[in-house]
Amino acid sequence: MKLTHQKALLAASLVALAGCSSDSKDKPVLPPVSEGETIINTPEVIVKAEDNPDLQRQTITLGATGDMHGYIRAWDYAQHAEAADTSFAKIQSVMNAERAKDENIILIDLGDTVQGNSAELFNDYPTHPVVEAMIHMEYDVWVPGNHEFDFDRSFIDRNLVNFDGAVISANVYWNEEHGGAPYMRGHQIFQINGATVAVIGVTPSLVPQWQASQPDNYRNLEFRDELATISATVDQVIEAHQPDVVIGAFHLSRNESGIDCGVHCLSEELVDKFDVMFMGHEHAQFIEQTTVDGQSEVGQSISSDGALTEDKGLSGVYNADNRHTKVKIIEPGRFGWALAKAEIELERDDAGQWQIVDTTLSNVRVREEGEDDTMVAMFDEVHQLAIEDATTPIGTVEGNFTFSETGMADEATNTAMTNGRLYSTIHHAKVADMPLVDLIQYVQIKNANAGLEALNSPYRVEVSAAALFSDQSNLVDGQKYEKRHSAELYRYDNNLMAVRILGEHLKDYMEWSYNYLKGYSEGDLTVAFNGDIPSFNYDLFDGEGFYYTVDLSKQNREEDQDANRIQEGERIEILEIGGAPFDPEAIYTLAVNNYRFGDLVRRGWVRPVDVLYDSVNEQVFAIRDMLTAMVGEYSDQYGALKADQFINQNWHFVQYGQADEQGQVAEPGAILQARADDAEGQALWSRLQNGEICVIIGDGSKGGNSIGEALNPADADSYFENPNFDPEQDISNPEYLAALIEGCKE
């Protein structure tokens, strides 16, 4: 195995750390990673504390963060607001306390670290400020996630090399043409007072699918099967090092569509090899345990207080006698919600060997922590540059882009609510056709058609597919549109593509997308959402002369782990495309982002040869930046970004009914009828609007604040009383509204 970029070279490039945020862009550029060489920043064994034979008992502590997505400071640049449950700066405050208790703590980051929250502004720095933050915080291990590959491979090359801890992932290899060696080492070994700890990492094997339109992002790399590579790695590590503790550091969902063996599967298959599995990727918060002892119990929750601490009454004994039958799993949420912590108690046996006598997991939440002062100072320039960029004025909004009573985003808003959002149901634009999403669709159609025309292509876009990525996003009358609002509406740096798709496969795609919603039951006052499906996989569809309906009482599409259809979807009825009847045998032109293109290719619905246009080589390649540019153009041309220019009522749920261009429904569907039935439904809906009750929020992956159970007066378990409700208070009072929102999070 070749060794590239040793510590001496790395140290020479990391000068003046105290001023890293201002100096990063001026640092010397390291030579690129040589094709076929393995990135190794650390010795295979790191000794944190020499063996002390007199020490008979010790506790080894490990901490982990995941899915930090650029949150150096506790600030959401798209929202232009403090984000209390976030940031490396708050994690550092937690770590200051943890290191005071245990200076040998092992600190791990689980990936999806250098993308998001305006981090892309600094991609050209030789060392990204996020990586500088991890260096300053003395992270021991970094496991790349899938979003580390959102940019050209030179980006991840130099940042992995510049990181001064271990970079590990067991399943990322150079392709055979370039030698087939590991891109980085799959594990890191630590020794603490004579005890050996092995940490094994993994990155999702679906990176090539998710980056299918940008192969340079993973140029000459291949991502191998998770179970096979982790199994081989852990066996090699056990044989070579006989570790006393084995830790998984996985950027991988518990059950990932398209991956044969997610973390739940890994925990069952490798229960006898691992003690704790730290995981990221889902953005979830939980503590679980898998037990395989005669009968498997996979992913049992072992936390009784909102994923903060392990409940020993649920987890039971974990020690040297039964560790081969159990493994514990923990995820610390996203953006720095918590530091996931494992405390592993060891005791020497009569032969002087360390044996596990207990393990305890917890998520140390950052909400009440202050930001570390040193990090605030170090990254002030980065913070100010991001704020300046985010608040760049682009134009003015005219009209409400969401047709609720007040123009607010939540379905359950009422006329008294003028200062905020109840945020207890779901974004209105996810259940009814709104200008907010039509604006994104318009940008995609306009730019894709311009690209096709520039290529002298005879094709033009007939259907556009886009998701509403943020439940907080909205545009209201009189609002000043700043650059950050584009990031709020479109959170990712996706590029735009136009592809050919068979009508039959377009229908399959739409059925797949609307599987995000659960089925309708009589009396429902809301829809409910499938917590197993990420909200960013819920696409809506638009196009001139394109009309369809969605019936949630009909059968939904189901797929197996390999994305093979196991149940036909019957929810979608496509009425017209381009003003003509839908033809399942016809070829249509579809505008999508590059991430969704990968999903379509994987399912065989489109092929690389079907690509007609890709914005990846355009000067403005990202859909988000196209949105900013178009808002500026429209504001200059028309004096404002006007909602009425982006109304195209082309779809509706049967259970809601077809709305007109003002959002009024002439013939309400069953859900709207139940809300105005002068009986139980209307009364319960009114209680929700007043903040008196709260809906049940699902705990699925990346679903945000999606309703887990549809609100229904016949089901008392579909809601709970808000502990902060006070009939004497006015919901238009921002402080009271905030209290109601907090009450619904309990």
Q: What are the pLDDT digits (tens) for 524-561?
A: 999 998 887 888 899 999 999 999 999 999 999 998 87
| pLDDT attached to residue 3 | 33
| pLDDT attached to residue 33 | 80
Residue given tokens 């859909």 in the structure block? 623
| pLDDT attached to residue 419 | 65
Output the average pLDDT for the chain: 91
| pLDDT attached to residue 717 | 94
51-92 pLDDT, tens digit per residue, is 999 999 999 999 999 999 999 999 999 878 899 999 999 999
Q: How far is CA 613 from the centre of its chain?
A: 27
For residue 22, pLDDT beyond 50: no
For residue 660, pLDDT beyond 60: yes
The amino acid occupying position 643 is A
Give the separation between CA 450 and CA 453, rounded to whole angstroms. Answer: 5
Give the separation between CA 695 and CA 709, rounded to whole angstroms. Answer: 7
| pLDDT attached to residue 705 | 55
Distances in Å between the Cα of 698 and the Cα atoms of 425, 539, 550, 719, 745 are: 11, 19, 22, 12, 11
pLDDT mean over 432-453: 96
For residue 595, pLDDT beyond 90: no
Q: What is the chain's Cα-based Rg?
A: 26
User: Which pLDDT band holds residue 32 (cuts at 50, 70, 90)?
Assistant: low
| pLDDT attached to residue 746 | 62
| pLDDT attached to residue 706 | 74
List, in sequence order, every residue forming a beta bridge with 166; answer none if it has no partner: 141
For residue 580, pLDDT beyond 80: yes
Share of the chain above pLDDT 70, in %: 94
Give the separation between CA 204 and CA 244, rounded to whole angstroms. Answer: 27
CB 68 within 8 A of CB 109: yes
CB 209 within 8 A of CB 598: yes
User: Which pLDDT band holds residue 325 (cuts at 50, 70, 90)?
Assistant: very high
User: Which pLDDT band holds residue 701 (cuts at 50, 70, 90)?
Assistant: very low
Question: Collapsing DSSP states into helix, strand and coil, what is residue 575?
Answer: strand
List domains and CATH numbers for the chain: 3-383 (3.60.21.10), 392-672 (3.90.780.10)
For residue 46, pLDDT beyond 50: yes
Span of 284-293, 413-422, 602-611 with lowest mean pLDDT: 413-422
List, in sequence order, every residue forming a beta bridge with 356; answer none if it has no partner: 346
Distances in Å between the Cα of 175 and the Cα atoms of 179, 224, 234 are: 7, 10, 22
For residue 160, pLDDT beyond 80: yes
Give the separation between CA 560 and CA 581, rounded to whole angstroms. Answer: 31
For residue 2, pLDDT beyond 80: no
User: Which pLDDT band holds residue 181 (cuts at 50, 70, 90)?
Assistant: very high
For residue 598, pLDDT beyond 50: yes
469-502 pLDDT, tens digit per residue, is 888 889 999 999 999 999 889 988 788 999 999 9
| pLDDT attached to residue 99 | 98
Sign of CA dihedral 398, 404, 406, 407: negative
Total residues belonging to the chain: 746
| pLDDT attached to residue 1 | 29
Number of separate helices (H) and strands (E) present in the chain: 19, 36
For residue 418, pLDDT beyond 80: no
| pLDDT attached to residue 494 | 86
User: Which pLDDT band holds residue 704 (cuts at 50, 70, 90)?
Assistant: low
CB 414 within 8 A of CB 421: no
| pLDDT attached to residue 24 | 46
Give the separation between CA 99 and CA 109, rounded to whole angstroms. Answer: 16
Return the higher-pLDDT residue of 598 and 654: 654
298-320 pLDDT, tens digit per residue, is 999 999 888 899 999 999 999 99
| pLDDT attached to residue 561 | 75
User: Which pLDDT band holds residue 25 (cuts at 50, 70, 90)?
Assistant: very low
pLDDT mean over 23-51: 79
End-to-end CA distance of the chain: 52
For residue 388, pLDDT beyond 50: yes
124-158 pLDDT, tens digit per residue, is 999 999 999 999 999 999 999 999 999 999 999 99
CB 62 within 8 A of CB 278: yes
718-735 pLDDT, tens digit per residue, is 999 999 999 999 888 889
Count the alpha carbons within 13 Å of 663 in the hemisphere toward its beta carbon. 21
How many other C-beta atoms lie within 10 A of the C-beta of residue 494?
A: 23
- Residue 719: its H or E element: strand 719-721
CB 1 within 8 A of CB 129: no
For residue 244, pLDDT beyond 60: yes
